[in-house]
């Protein structure tokens, strides 16, 4: 038995899930849900864990908005739903990334005004 302290899932991640999903799909062409959770865990060295309750509704919403296309596959007798960016999805990815950069700049102006 061991104790694990993780600072993960700070409140700040709220609102950035869509950006994360879109960016990953922009890099990896197509991915399925579980793969996304693992990739995020890997890239953030375990610091950020995307929960299923957040991820799947987000994917469905992005699909409903026409930003993602879905394609179902069966691998090892298990279902996988591969998502990929639509044309609009690619455009929106650029917007989201710009928004994120802007957000980071703004926050730095707030918490570290000397560097602004």
Q: In the complex, which residues of this chain contact its own copies (CB under 8 A)? A: 7, 10-16, 18-20, 23-24, 27, 40, 43-44, 47-48, 97, 99-100, 102-104, 106-111, 113, 116
> What's the CA angle centered on 85, arms 25 and 42, to 5 degrees?
10
Of its own copies, DNA, none, which one does residue 89 interact with (CB within 5 to 8 Å by kind)? none
Q: Going along 50-116, which residue ranges are E strands?
A: 68-75, 78-85
Minimum distance between the CB of residue 47 and DNA, rounded to whole angstroms? 12
Pure H helices in 44-80: 52-64
Contact 83, 22 (CB under 8 A): no
25-64 residues near DNA, rule: CB under 7 A: 32-35, 38, 50-54, 56-61
Of DNA, its own copies, none, which one does residue 113 interact with (CB within 5 to 8 Å by kind)? its own copies
């Amino acid at each position: 038995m061991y104790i694990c302290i993780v600072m993960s899932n700070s409140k700040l991640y709220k609102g950035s899930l869509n950006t994360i999903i879109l960016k990953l799909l922009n890099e990896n062409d197509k991915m399925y849900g579980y793969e996304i959770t693992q990739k995020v865990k890997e890239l953030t060295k375990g610091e950020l864990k995307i929960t299923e309750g957040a991820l799947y509704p987000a994917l469905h919403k992005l699909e409903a908005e026409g930003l993602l296309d879905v394609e179902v596959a069966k691998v090892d007798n298990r279902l996988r739903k591969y998502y990929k960016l639509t044309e609009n999805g690619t455009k929106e990815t650029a917007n989201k990334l710009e928004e994120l950069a802007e957000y980071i700049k703004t926050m730095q102006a707030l918490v570290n005004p000397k560097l602004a």
